[in-house]
Structure 1
């Protein structure tokens, strides 16, 4: 069932429609041939799906190198100019701001392309009714910070997730339509959003991946379709020409969460 008005009191930017709730029947049947990646893993306990907040990688590193090269050329140019008189304070401030902006922009673009992990998987644990998300965090105001950038594992209750289809126009030449599916985390028993994160690119694929999660959590692995291709080994794939993916860190779940997300609760839990 699809809804025509937002169910949440703060819908996602570019909200288009709400997808069925976690315990409702899926709105679409997953069709493997049109899906980009098969599940990373599936068994009786958990389903792991591949996920990536950035759709394209590898261009940013060259854009960053170009921006930083321009900064170096600009600084070199300034140091070689012979002024008949010292530059005014305003000109000096403008020059410093220009250099600072170039360094910030180049560093930010570089880190966005190389610091994100090779995969940002999401695990649906049917036995615990929990969802474990490997999320890449970044802070544009702190491009040189180590603590503000990196992947963190977060845990949510399956019943508190809500999927939304979104459609916005991005800065792509004359304008381009960007369609995604996001997952909102709501406060239990309410429509209040307490967190939100990217789930999938393209509405059709996102809706199918969400349907897979619903089928698995509601009925088990036997409800999922068969995929003709084997799972992709994101950490050990051979990368030749994509510098960003070669520099990207591998997926490494914290030991405690890795064990919990792959297991059923015991009597001692």
Structure 2
């Protein structure tokens, strides 16, 4: 039994290194520090799917006989596709040991899980839901996962990403207040870290409304690392707009008057000749 466990551990370590070198798109996975046979994964909802914006946490429980026997697969985050905390019946899980291939790695299992999640095929452990319901689950998944201590321990970078998105959502809800600060969230790789956009409004009545200074954008700041771009005191209001139209009107009247004067002069010169 010890030899089998050692073999499984060696395989787990190799699969872990391969995952770090060649990650599965939309999926992050980490073994439990106290038990390498228990892996936790997070599926990030792909674009152009009802799962977009969602984060789905689950576990893979490997037997000591791995890779000669398949793992059990669970999903913990409500998602509208799989039942939570229930063994999933998939061709890559222990529900079908007859279809299991020992050459399949952890990466292969996670790829198959994501593929099946994006399908509508019914199986033991799957559920049916509307697109609207899946989208609602995606929105609620952010706060749901942050309540899980194992999720916070194993995926701190994803927690930072989720917190950033939650902060951005809160800022958008408060965008009509006196001062708004919009945050651009980095992805899991931190590719756009340190980027902030600050927009300050004169008040909440909107751009160009009311008296001078009301609804005017008074400050815009774009900060990327140490680079700054500022536009200050941009005022657009009804008063300025009216003045601009009045100036154009006077200009047109002047042109017409000059043209009429030129015609009269020309007429008089022709008659005198």
Shorter chain as denominator, the TM-score bin is under 0.3
Structure exhibiting the larger radius of gyration computed from Cα positions: 2
Instruction: Give the TM-score of the pair, scaled to structure 2.
Output: 0.22
Higher-helix-fraction structure: 2
Instruction: Give the TM-score of the pair, scaled to structure 1.
Output: 0.22
Q: Larger relative contact order (C-alpha < 8 A, sep ≥ 6)?
A: 1
